[in-house]
Structure 1
Amino acid sequence: MANFEKNPNIRSTEHLELFVEGGILHCIYKEVDMVDLEYAQACVSERLAFIDGKAYPSLFDITRIKQSTKEARDFMANEGNDLVSASAILIGSPMLKMTANFYIMVNKPKNPTRMFTDRKSALEWLSQFSA
């Protein structure tokens, strides 16, 4: 895992840990009980500030999120996907699996999106979208 204290290419924000490796943006969500619309908007703002106008295939590690609201999921599927060429959602619990499946099937993100339970498979899938 990345060393967030010593690498200037890695940013730790209020909500996320962000870095680019192998042409893939890694967005690791910090532990939170509920992602609501305001929280989702803050995460997207932090991500967009970090990538500075460049689109990336992105790994979204949501293993430390407990729940999200419908409004947050709707936002993430649309405006929240700006400059994301493909999304791999890394989950770690049955509840997150249900939420991620719902997000993919009902919210229908505007980019290719898949759910994974292991980081290696997610990165392998995303590699086809990196330059």
Structure 2
Amino acid sequence: MDKSRFENEYASFWIEAGIVYFVYKPNSVVSLEAARKIVEDRIKFQKQQDFPIYCDIRGMKSADKEARNYLAKEGSSYARAVAVVVDSPMSKIIGNIYLGLNKPITPSRLFTDEKDAVEYLKQFATQYT
């Protein structure tokens, strides 16, 4: 397995230019149990180091309230900042609920443009070798 990339049943992640890219797989349904697995795998992958997180939720079909709460709080562990990337009306709704109601504890913003999301995260990135 390539150590610079990790995949579980919900998402793929990799590190590029000091940013963790986290992309949900198509039609992902995120329950509290799934959220716990996602966060646990991401933190292990990051080796418990802080990174800005590019979180592409365009593949997410749904996330229940408990999962969103978990991702907003515990999911912010080892995250300097989070850029949530959306496109469809459904992903925008999920993203806005997450940011507005669940109130993540790290700086977090919603983006429809991937380049804007990366630019936002660059200010939080540290180059890792």
**2:80–2:106 contact (8 Å) kept in structure 1:** yes
Select which of 77, 90, 96 maps to 1:95: 90
Select which of 36, 40, 49 maps to 1:45: 40
2:120 aligned partner: 125
User: Once superposed, which parts of structure 1, at least 4 consecutive aligned residues long, lie more than 6 Å away?
Assistant: none
Provide structure 2 residue ranges, at least 5 long, that are not aligned to the other structure.
none
Select which of 9, 12, 31 maps to 1:14: 9
**TM-superposed deviation, 1:33:** 4.4
TM-score scaled to structure 1, two decimals?
Answer: 0.90
Alignment partners' CA distance in 2, 1:33 and 1:130: 28
**2:81–2:108 contact (8 Å) kept in structure 1:** yes
Alignment partners' CA distance in 2, 1:8 and 1:20: 10
Write out aligned runs for 1:21-40 (5 A): 21-40=16-35
2:125 is the alignment partner of 1:113 = no
Residues paired across the two proteins, number: 126
**TM-superposed deviation, 1:42:** 0.8
User: Secondary structure of the equivalent of 1:20?
Assistant: strand
Percent of residue pairs bearing the same amino acid type? 37
- What is the Cα-based RMSD across aligned positions, in Å? 1.3
**TM-superposed deviation, 1:107:** 0.8
AA at the equivalent of 1:106: L
Alignment partners' CA distance in 2, 1:40 and 1:77: 10
AA at the equivalent of 2:80: S
Provide structure 1 residue ranges, at least 5 long, that are not aligned to the other structure.
none
2:55 aligned partner: 60
- The C-alpha deviation readout for 1:83-124, integer Å capped at 9, x for no partner, is 001000011211111121111111110000001112111000
User: Secondary structure of the equivalent of 1:126?
Assistant: helix
**2:10–2:28 contact (8 Å) kept in structure 1:** no
- The C-alpha deviation readout for 1:38-78, integer Å capped at 9, x for no partner, is 11111111101100110100001111111110100000010
